[in-house]
Structure 1
């Protein structure tokens, strides 16, 4: 298991792929949630799916993460209309996958979640200002392309 908590800026990750998400933001949030839940496949299947995933994480490899396994916890921050796609709270089947509904700014909710975590945190976002705020907390960040590559690699095997 990757000992970090991953926090996903869902709006930013969803917006990184022009797949029509703007026509159904709640549906796009649900599809992302479903893709993220695939990280918790049974152990034997996960090893088949993620043998090269560490190559996708050059910015944080110094932290010793291998990404052959899911994170200790994965927090997905949803804002606006996308909140209707997935209920807030832990996933009923995968308690380590938690959805947070931002009351105001999604960026503020991401930073708030960083402060709530114990241990190392990795934030997935391409938002420059948010990445600056993340760095100020001592957390690491990667872009949405990193996460999509990880999820796509899992699907292609």
Structure 2
């Protein structure tokens, strides 16, 4: 099984399209694109934090699972990666955050940059 874990804040923030004026709306638009995308993953997990959480309810819809980070989004991403990798899943995390990259690689996840994902949406 393959899981794609998306650092919502990092992906949204990777393109200067005015997302900072409406973080919840930007998160919602990303979610819609993820739900419609033809990605080779059985599960897509999008982690949202702060004001972005208002843009998408937490929970599962189809193969997309939305997690509202209660604190650090990075901690929630690492936990999601650790859990799935521990269950034998092939885990890919989408982020450009170097600190987060090292943390998820330590739990056997692969990292791709936001441009990789945005090119596929």
The bucket for the TM-score relative to the shorter chain is over 0.9
Unaligned runs of 5+ in 1: 41-68, 152-157
Query: Is the aligned partner of 1:9 residue 2:7?
Result: yes
Deviations 1:9-50 (A, max 9, x none): 00000000100000000000000000011125xxxxxxxxxx
The equivalent of 1:66 in structure 2 is: none
After the TM superposition, list the runs of 4 or more consecutive aligned residues in structure 1 that deviate by more than 6 angstroms.
Answer: none
- Aligned Cα root-mean-square deviation (Å): 1.0
Q: Is the contact between residue 47 and residue 66 of structure 2 (CA under 8 Å) also seen in structure 1?
A: yes
Number of residue equivalences: 118
Q: Is the contact between residue 28 and residue 82 of structure 1 (CA under 8 Å) also seen in structure 2?
A: yes
- Measure how far apart 1:79 and its partner are: 0.2
Query: Is the aligned partner of 1:114 residue 2:88?
Result: no
- Measure how far apart 1:99 and its partner are: 0.1
Deviations 1:103-126 (A, max 9, x none): 000000000101221211000000
1:7-156 alignment, distance < 5 Å: 7-39=5-37, 69-91=39-61, 94=62, 96-117=63-84, 118=87, 119-151=89-121
For residue 71 of structure 1, give the secondary structure of its aligned residue in structure 2. coil
Unaligned runs of 5+ in 2: none
CA distance in 1, matches of 2:28, 2:40: 19
Q: Which has more helix, going by share of residues?
A: 1
CA distance in 2, matches of 1:103, 1:26: 16
